[in-house]
């Protein structure tokens, strides 16, 4: 599986970096990650995600549900609460611990990267399929 991660990574690098020198530097960094064993960690995460996706509805959906819950708290605190507080003294303001904020940032970043990788993988499969 690490070989396919390297192939996918190289394909993504080729699509993202227009400058040949920057592409080679990025591919070198990818190879360094493999040598340090970081891709093995990525491989284990991918295996976990694949197992979750093949499970029942709740197994597949717990991450999106968590992200939507965090986004709902943020929307409440920054969109609804300021207006409700003008007319209602007991308007609900929900606490959002720093760890959940960080988790949301990580989740959104992972979603963007994951969707990009998914599109590149689909294109790659169609070309090489």
pLDDT single digits (tens) 24-49: 888 888 777 777 777 676 677 777 76
Residues of the chain with pLDDT under 50: 2
What is residue 26's predicted lDDT score, i.e. its pLDDT?
A: 81
Chain Cα centroid distance, residue 87: 38
Q: How far apart are the first and last CA of the chain?
A: 18
Cβ atoms of 89 and 96 closer than 8 Å: no
Q: Which sequence spans correspond to the domains of the chain?
A: 1-54, 56-129
Angle at 22 between CA 2 and CA 107, to 5 degrees: 55
> Each residue of 34-67: b (16+ CB within 10 Å) or e?
beeeebeebeeeeeeeeeeeeeeeeeeeeeeeeb
């Amino acid at each position: 599986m690490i070989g396919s991660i390297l192939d996918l990574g190289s394909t993504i690098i080729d699509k993202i970096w227009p400058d040949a020198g920057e592409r080679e530097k990025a591919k070198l960094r990818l190879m360094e990650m493999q040598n340090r064993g970081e891709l093995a960690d990525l491989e284990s995460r991918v295996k976990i995600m694949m197992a979750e996706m093949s499970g029942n509805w709740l197994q597949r959906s717990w991450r999106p549900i968590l992200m939507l819950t965090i986004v709902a708290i943020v929307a409440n605190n920054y969109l609804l609460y300021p207006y409700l507080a003008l007319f209602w003294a007991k308007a609900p303001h929900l606490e959002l611990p720093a760890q959940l904020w960080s988790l949301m940032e990580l989740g959104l970043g992972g979603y963007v990267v994951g969707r990009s990788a998914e599109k590149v993988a689909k294109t790659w499969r169609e070309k090489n399929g």
